[in-house]
Structures are given as structure tokens and as C-alpha cells.
Structure 1
Amino acid sequence: MQKNGSSLYPTLDAPKEPLYSEFRALPHASPDSMMIMAMFRIQYDALIFERSTSFRGEYVAMPTLEIEIKDTNGIIRGRIQWKDSVFAQTFEQSNDTKGYVFGMRSVILQRNHYVVTLALLDKGRVIKKFRLPSIALREIGQPMFTSGNPFSNVFTPDIYNGNIPFGSTRQYAVFPLSSSISVTSATLNRQRANEEYSHHVKPITSTRTELRNNASIMPENLESSASFQPFPLLINEANGLQVLIVQFPDNVIAPGRYSLVLHHGEKHGKQDSTRFDFACQWEDMPTTLISAEYARQVMKYLLTDDEFDKLSASSDLDIRKKIIDWWKKNDPTPTTIYDEPMTEYFKRADRAFTEFQTITESDGIMTQRGKIALLYGFPKKRDMEIPSQGVRKEIWTYPSPINKRFIFVQQSGKNFVLIAIEDV
């Protein structure tokens, strides 16, 4: 049996979208007009940063987002350009694949069907360009998903290309409606959960809905500068409009495909319905979980030899199923689909991989410091000493409830070694 996964990690790929966007058609005060609202977030790692002389950050990028709006005849009816300075405090932040900057813009147009083309550029380089499906002002607008409670009249939308993120928070959908629509209920359907979660999902129960009369969705501020946080939306009073809030049942959303069906009105003696399809995706999955075999190697500190061998399988999917099953059996809250202890463990592994790398140990997870960091977390108190003869010493102290001190030493040219564990 071999538990060395060091050679696997450098080959792992952690693809991230450079640009996420949400476009919504919203009513305007003029009945012949409509607002097209663009919300977007841009990945730090996709941008070209240079040294900055500003107090706002050590590095700066100047991305441009160009939005072109055409009618069904191909005539350009509107252009929106967003350009701003994006600052990074450190070199690491400028290369962060999980860090994003947010923006928002809008345009007022005549009510019609439009096609939107979106292009993200930086220093003349096209980072991403794509065309969106037709956008129009409809009696039932496209939902805005959020994990922030919209019943408070303020919510922060998920900007996720029309999908929702996998996580531990409650999920909602907020719909703009015309006054002619009478929604009686909403049904959430699971089309397909990712196979590794198929044994852990439970039947979907009913949703909670609330219909607000004389209300509309509006941005708090459309012309804000680049932000580290998404911009909030408001549910305001507005005559002749409605807002529907749908609260999803708890602990039923696993990565996979879903549909949300709104039941409304009567048509030819039957109730009419409108369906919206979306996906749940684990965007911020720890990198060390992407390869199932490497994730098995990373778990070696938690497992007996027999347990480690039992997690082995012939396919990536089968290993992943076994990993999730193992964590569920040891989860203090097994009824929840999102496993916080598993996520925390592998997030520690992501950090340990680079933080404890040395010339002789390319995978920081497989070091003695990495082992302690994965089992106990990273210490808040970490003292470093360099005594004589070039011997380095690190002292990690963990307060209650761990109450331990770990002492590592490194001889010149050698690896860090754990030499003592003390009670504190």
C-alpha cells in the first residue's frame, strides 16, 4: 500500500470561469420602455495586473466590459461600456482564481426582444466573448437566485450564469411579475443529482412562496465602481407590478440539474405553468477534491490502513462516492447535503499544499507540518525561532479545546520534523 500522492497534485486542473453575468429585463416607469440590467463578476486571475502607485493596492488592472444590444433585425439599439480600476493588495491576490470583482450597469430601451453580446477585454486582449439568449420584458421575468433573505426587501443576487452555488445557506428565487399574473404555487423538481450524491439526497418537499402586490425589483445604485461584493437589489413599492419570492426547502439541493415550475392562472379550464431550468454547481470546491484519487491520498491522516484501502476503486466516480459516504458516516449533521467538516478539511489541504512546500518537499500536504494543519487547523499562534547553527524552529500553539503545542525543527538543508507535542 502506498499513500504518496505528491506526484498527482501538480497535474490537477482547477478551471474557473473568468466572467459570470446575469442580465434581466425589468419594467420602467414609461410603459413603452424597459430596463436591461447587467450584473457581472470578473475573476482576478483572468486580468493583467501591473504595479500600482496608488494607495488602493500594490497592483492594478484596467478591464473593459463591452455590451452590445441588437434587436431581432440585427440593428444595434444600445451599447454599454464598463471600465474601472481593479486593485489587488498582493501578488497572490492578483492571481486568485477564486477572487472576483463585481460590477453593474443598465440601459433603458423600447420594449422589444433583444440579443445581447458581451465581451471582456484587458489591454486589447479578449478574455471572453459570448452571446446571450433573447432577452425581453415578459409577464413572468427570469428568476434572480439568492442566498440572502429577500423577505427583508433587500437581497444580494447570485451572479452565476443563471445557476446557483452549492453551499450550506438557504436558497431563494425572486421573480418580477406583471399584475396580470396570479401565481398559486411553485414546485421545485430535481431532474438529476450528480451521481456521487444520489444516495444522500432526500425527496423535495413543498416550497414557501410569498406574492408581493404593487412591488418591483430595482438596483440600489446602478453606477457604482468596481466592488469586492455584489450589489444589493431592493424590493420597492410600484403600482401595477408584483414580486414573487420562492424559498427552497432546506437540505435538498445537491450539485445537479433542477427545474422550478410556477403554477398560475387558468387556461382552457386548466392551470397554466411556466418552467425555469437551472443547475447547482460547486464553484468553490477545494482544489484537492477535484481528483478523487488525490483526495483519497489527502485523507490518509484520518484513516486506518483498512479504511484507506476500502476507499480505493477503479474509477474516479466510485472513489468520489466512497469519499462522500465516509464523510457522511462521520458527519455530526448527516441530514445536511453540504458537508462542512469535509469542506473545511480539504480547504486546509489546499492551503497546506503551497504553504509548506520546500525545495525537497513539493507537496506541503504530505509534510509533517501539513499533517498537523489538516488534523487541527492552522494555528493562530505560530512562533518562529532561528537559533545558532542554522537550525530553524517553529512552535504551534493551540488553545482550548485542543490545548496542545507542536514543535518543529529544520536542520540546514533538511525538512521540518515534528520533535515534540506538549500539553498546554
Structure 2
Amino acid sequence: MIKQISTLVLLLCLLTSSLYGQQRQDQRRNTAYQALLMRTDRPHSYFDHVSFPVSDSTSQFAFLFRIDYDSVPFMKAGINTEKPTSDAEYYADIQIGLEIFEGPASKSRNSSQIPISVLRDNWQDTLWVDSYEKTQSRTDYFQGMMSTPLSTGQYHYELQIPRPELPVAQGNRSSRQDRPNPRRNLTVNGVDGTEDPDFILLKSFQSGQSSFSATFLNYGDNILYGEDYSVLIQIPSDAEPNQLSLNLYRLTGGANADSEELRHSVEISSENIIQLNNVNFRNENGEIGFRAEISGEGSSYAYVQIPNRDFENSIYKLALENNNSDEVIGEKRIRSQWLDMPVSLYNLDVAIDMLRFIVNDEQLRELNSGSNSARERKFREFWAQRDPTPDTEFNELMTEYYNRIDHAYEEFSSLQVPGYNTDQGRAYILYGPPDQVDRRMPTNAPTREIWEYPDKTLIFEATTGFGDFKLISEQQS
């Protein structure tokens, strides 16, 4: 009898331990996804700087910015507010401050050394939109620039931009608070001095016999997933252009980037070398760019087009290299920006874990084994084998799967359970949106939802009054 009681107690302890372990695992999963959701839900703001040499001692510098509307503290216009158009309803007074200092930034903001300011400037405008939805938009944005001549040398700059976390209270302009952006270092080169060659990302360009004009991509150090772009690189005066190559490496292994692979290489030739002079920045028709003269007295640049639509959404490195010595003359790290990427794909751990709805435990363990680079390779191979359009880089099936996970979280989450772990969430992930949803509220009985699919009918029953539904029947058609 004592032995039987001891065995029962042991089984209960094991069961309790198993349940507790599962709860902790679910909690870690949920925390990881929710942390990603909070990170990706932040408004997008992009900042960059470019400079073009005017002489050996001076360059023309421009600070660029692009900010989504949902970063902006809009206010509703009052009855007596003067509007630019009759349908304008919300407005925002925007002011962006820029201060440039001599020398590189101190690693500590608490440093006792006071940097010498060489320029203070600001950009201001009033934005107007016609609906509340526009104030929350991530497809609408404003962009601009500030430019000034700078002597060659080392600098750093700081920004003051509107704080999106603390929107303006209606009718109270003084409630807006600004926050300093992280300080950024910059090197201003002369015509002959290129210790740190500039890599300028371009959306488009036009090159003629005597002039060169271009539009900046203006997404900071990001390029857009699935869209081609170009890059303009200043060539050092002591370099032989016909000995140079621009190489594009994909960095793998997540944030640690523990390995790299060459994905594209272009040998620099006289056909893509130009000398630019008299550069003028411009902001026309909502596009920010520049126009320059092509002359034999300017600074040398190589311009190269990158077929980015052929490459994965990943982190890359552009490197200007000497073909003979393999010397890296300059490099720039860039990140592919998938503007509407599903939340789970922002993190390899979460992306692999979310495969648990369609693979068994053994397959999941195999996908999760090895180094970061090995796990990323296996994850990509898993989806490549299921790509409905293998001739293109974009994988529609993978995108649809992770979009369903996001939708399940948004639509079916309760206070205790994230949407993808509910019966309705799992059904949505596996089968997609139903053709028809019928909600029935019988007297003295729980509410039911009936999801109709071409080949099956799912019946869910409410377990609480907070939208929690449990699958009680699955009928094949």
C-alpha cells in the first residue's frame, strides 16, 4: 500500500513538473513574440548624411530624414484654426533640430569634455491630413534635408526630433517633448582625401554627357527588400579604378553575423566612373536628390546598379576591394528592409518556433540544432522546398503562413492565451480565413461560431464571456 502511494505521489510530481515546464515554455514563447511585436510596432524614422567634395578643404554636406506619419504627434484642428483646405482635419507642427560638433563623439555622454559646436540648424513645417487613420499611417511619410558647407575632417552630430511616444494633447502645444537621437560620427572628405570612402544609396539616377542627377533612397542604412537600387562610391585618388571591384556579401548568423557569403560582384571600369563637380542638393516633387556637373576637375565616383530583387531579405555588406591585393578600401553595412514583414520573421528563434503548428517535435529540434548560420540555412531550405514560385526570391507561402500567425494573435488573443495558441488561432493558421462565419447565441447555452470551409466545417463554443472559443466539432464536407 505504501509503495502504491509513493508511486502515485511520484506520478503526480512528474505530471506537475511537466505541466509547469510546459507553462514556462509557453510563457517564454509568448514573451519572445510579444517583445518582437513591441519592437516592430515602433514607428519608423530614417536618418542619413551625405557629402560631396567642393575642394581639397571643403565639402557640401546634407543631412537627410524620412519619418512615417505614425511617428508624428498630430492634433485635431479647432473650430477657429485656419486650414489650408476644407477637408484638412489634423495637423502637426514639426521641427527637427541639427547640431554638428567638431571631432568624433565621446563614448560617454557624461564626458567632462565639451564638444565644439560648428553648426546649428533646424527644419520646420506644418503637416495636414484629412483623417485620423492618416495620422496612424506607415505608408504616408514626410522627408526633408538640411545642407551646409563643411571643412574636411572628423565630426559628429545630434538631432532633436518629435517624441512619438508622447503625442500632443489636443489644444496643448506645450505638451510636446523632444528627445535627442543617438549621436552619429561623420567623415568629410576632400577631392583627394578618402580615408573613409562614402557609399551613397540611390533610388534612381540619370547620367548624361555633362550632368548627373540622382534621387536618394533615403531609408538610412537600409535598402528595400525586392527592389533594385544603385550605389555611388567615392574612389580614392591613389586607387586604380580598373583594379577595383564592388562586392556584395550576405551576412548570416543573425545579429552576430558570424559568417558571410559573396552574392554579387561588379568590376569597376571606365564605363561606370564619373567625376562630379558643382553638386546641388534639391527637394522637388517630394523626392530628395542632387544634380552635379560631370567634369575632369571633380572627385571620382563609381556608380553601380544592384539587382536586389534577386536577393534574400537579410543583412549585407558592400565592400570596395582591390582585385590584386584583396585590400578592403571601404565598406558599408546595409540591411534589407521588408516594410510589411510578418512579426515572427524578425527573429530566427521565433520564426523556427512558430513552425510547431506544421512540423513535429523531431523536425523542430532538427531545425533548431547547430550554429546560427546552420539554423538559418536549414530554415531557408525548409521554405525553399515549399516555395510555389522557386524562380523568384519572394516566397508567397512562407509570407502567408507568418501573416496568419500575426492575424491569429491580433484577432483571437485573450488575457491569458495568445491568439496563435487558441483553437480558433490554430485553425486560422492551418486553414486560413473561412469562407463564412456564422455566430449563434442560443438561449441558456454558450455562444457558438461555425466556420465554413470548402471541405470542412468547424464549430467553436465560447468558454467565457471574453471571446475564448474551444473547438467542439470538426465535420468533413
Identify whether the pair has TM-score above 0.5, normalized to the shorter chain: yes
Q: Distance in 2 between matches of 1:199 and 1:178?
A: 29
The equivalent of 2:333 in structure 1 is 279
The equivalent of 2:408 in structure 1 is 352
Q: Distance in 1 between matches of 2:258 and 2:150?
A: 50
The residue correspondences of 1:13-412 to structure 2 (distance < 5 A) are 13-14=35-36, 15=39, 19-26=45-52, 34-42=59-67, 48=73, 55-56=87-88, 62-70=93-101, 76-85=117-126, 94=136, 101-109=141-149, 111-113=151-153, 115-122=155-162, 123-139=176-192, 142-146=198-202, 148-150=203-205, 154-160=214-220, 163-165=221-223, 167-175=225-233, 183-184=241-242, 185-188=244-247, 190=249, 192-194=251-253, 203-207=262-266, 210-211=271-272, 213=274, 219-221=281-283, 231-233=287-289, 237-240=293-296, 241=298, 244-248=302-306, 251=310, 255-256=314-315, 258-261=317-320, 275-281=329-335, 283-284=337-338, 286-290=342-346, 292-304=348-360, 306-313=362-369, 322-332=378-388, 341-359=397-415, 362-375=417-430, 389=443, 391=447, 393=449, 409-411=460-462
Q: Distance in 1 between matches of 2:437 and 2:239?
A: 64
CA displacement 1:72-95 (0-9 Å, x = unmatched): 69664432212345678558974x
Q: 1:358 to 1:68 in 2, by over 3 A?
A: same
The number of residues matched between the two structures is 398
CA displacement 1:12-49 (0-9 Å, x = unmatched): 42346864311111356x99864322112346666555
CA displacement 1:74-118 (0-9 Å, x = unmatched): 664432212345678558974x8x778442223232654362422
Indicate if the aligned counterparts of 1:206 and 1:249 stay in contact, CA closer than 8 A.
no
Query: Alpha-carbon deviation of 1:354?
Result: 1.6
Q: Distance in 2 between matches of 1:408 and 1:51?
A: 45
Q: 1:125 to 1:77 in 2, by over 3 A?
A: closer
- Give secondary structure in 1 for the equivalent of 2:187: coil
Q: Distance in 2 between matches of 1:76 and 1:200?
A: 40
Q: Distance in 1 between matches of 2:377 and 2:145?
A: 42
CA displacement 1:89-148 (0-9 Å, x = unmatched): 558974x8x7784422232326543624222333233152413223344456612224x4
Give the RMSD, CA atoms, in angstroms.
Answer: 5.1
CA displacement 1:222-281 (0-9 Å, x = unmatched): 7x8xx7xxx3435665445565321346656774562421669xxxxx999872222243
Q: Distance in 1 between matches of 2:182 and 2:231?
A: 27
Q: Distance in 1 between matches of 2:377 and 2:263?
A: 21
Q: Distance in 2 between matches of 1:302 and 1:214?
A: 56
Q: Distance in 2 between matches of 1:221 and 1:166?
A: 21
- Give secondary structure in 2 for the equivalent of 1:159: coil
Query: Alpha-carbon deviation of 1:299?
Result: 1.5
- Give secondary structure in 2 for the equivalent of 1:326: helix
The equivalent of 1:400 in structure 2 is none
TM-score, structure 1 normalization: 0.68
- Give secondary structure in 1 for the equivalent of 2:231: strand
Are 1:10 and 2:31 counterparts?
yes
Q: Distance in 2 between matches of 1:332 and 1:208?
A: 34
Indicate if the aligned counterparts of 1:35 and 1:106 stay in contact, CA closer than 8 A.
no
Q: 1:322 to 1:86 in 2, by over 3 A?
A: farther
The equivalent of 2:169 in structure 1 is none
Q: Which structure: larger Rg?
A: 2
Indicate if the aligned counterparts of 2:226 and 2:311 stay in contact, CA closer than 8 A.
no
- Give secondary structure in 2 for the equivalent of 1:10: helix
Indicate if the aligned counterparts of 1:120 and 1:128 stay in contact, CA closer than 8 A.
yes
Q: 1:309 to 1:35 in 2, by over 3 A?
A: closer
Q: Distance in 1 between matches of 2:456 and 2:60?
A: 60
Amino acid at match of 2:97: E
Q: Between the two proteins, what is the percent identity of the paired residues?
A: 16
Gaps of 5+ in 2: 1-17, 104-113, 163-175, 208-212
TM-score, structure 2 normalization: 0.62
Query: Alpha-carbon deviation of 1:404?
Result: 6.7
Gaps of 5+ in 1: 265-269, 398-402
Q: 1:191 to 1:252 in 2, by over 3 A?
A: closer
- Give secondary structure in 2 for the equivalent of 1:324: helix
- Give secondary structure in 2 for the equivalent of 1:169: coil
Q: 1:91 to 1:369 in 2, by over 3 A?
A: farther
Indicate if the aligned counterparts of 1:253 and 1:280 stay in contact, CA closer than 8 A.
no
